[in-house]
C-alpha cells in the first residue's frame, strides 16, 4: 500500500531537493507539514525529522471532482509525499501506492490516479537521482 525509497543523505538537504523537484515538475504545494516539529512541541521526539507534503498536480482531478458520481475521490486527495529521516542517517521518501489501489476503482478514476502517481513517481526518481549524484 505504501512505496518507500531510502537513501543515505542529509535530511535537510534532501528536503530542499524534494521541494525544488516538486516545483520544477509543476506540482502545486498545498501544505508542508513539519510533523516532527509539531510533535516535538508536545514532547514526542521523531528522530531524524518528518515532513509531509500535500500536493496537487493541477487539472487531472478536476473532471472527477466536477461529477457527482466520482467526487468521492476527494477523500483520497490531495496527494501526499512524506520525507523522513531515520536514526541510522538514511532518508526515506514515502507515498501511497495508488497504482496498486487503482485496480479497485472504476476505470476513469483509476486513469486519473495512475496519471498523477506516475508523475509523482517520476518526480521522486529525479529527486533521488540528484541525491545519489551528490
Residue 39 confidence class, pLDDT cut points 50, 70, 90: very high
Average pLDDT of the chain is: 93
| Number of domains making up the chain | 1
pLDDT of residue 76: 87
Residue 134, pLDDT above cutoff 90: no
SS3 label, residue 110? helix
Stronger pLDDT, 123 or 116, i.e. the higher one? 123
DSSP codes of every residue in 30-78: EEEEEHHHHHHTTT---TT-EEEEEEE-SSTTHHHHHSGGGGGGGGG-S
Stronger pLDDT, 101 or 18, i.e. the higher one? 18
pLDDT of residue 35: 97
CATH number at residue 30: 3.30.310.70
pLDDT of residue 98: 81
8 Å CB contact between 93 and 50: no
% residues pLDDT > 90 (the chain): 76
pLDDT of residue 107: 92
pLDDT of residue 60: 82
pLDDT in tens, 50-100: 999 999 986 788 999 999 999 999 998 889 999 999 999 999 999 998 888
- Classify residue 89 by its DSSP letter: S
State which residues form the domain around 31: 2-133
Amino acid at each position: 500500500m505504501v512505496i518507500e525509497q531510502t537513501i543515505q543523505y542529509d535530511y535537510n538537504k534532501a528536503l530542499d531537493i524534494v521541494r525544488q523537484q516538486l516545483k520544477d515538475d509543476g506540482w502545486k504545494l498545498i501544505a508542508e507539514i513539519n510533523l516532527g516539529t509539531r510533535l516535538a512541541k508536545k514532547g514526542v521526539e521523531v528522530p531524524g525529522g518528518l515532513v509531509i507534503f500535500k500536493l496537487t498536480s493541477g487539472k487531472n482531478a478536476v473532471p472527477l471532482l466536477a461529477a457527482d458520481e466520482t467526487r468521492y475521490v476527494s477523500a483520497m486527495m490531495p496527494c501526499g509525499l512524506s520525507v523522513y529521516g531515520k536514526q541510522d542517517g538514511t532518508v526515506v521518501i514515502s507515498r501511497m501506492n495508488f497504482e496498486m489501489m487503482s485496480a479497485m476503482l472504476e476505470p476513469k478514476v483509476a486513469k486519473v490516479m495512475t496519471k498523477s502517481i506516475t508523475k509523482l513517481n517520476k518526480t521522486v526518481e529525479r529527486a533521488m537521482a540528484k541525491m545519489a549524484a551528490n
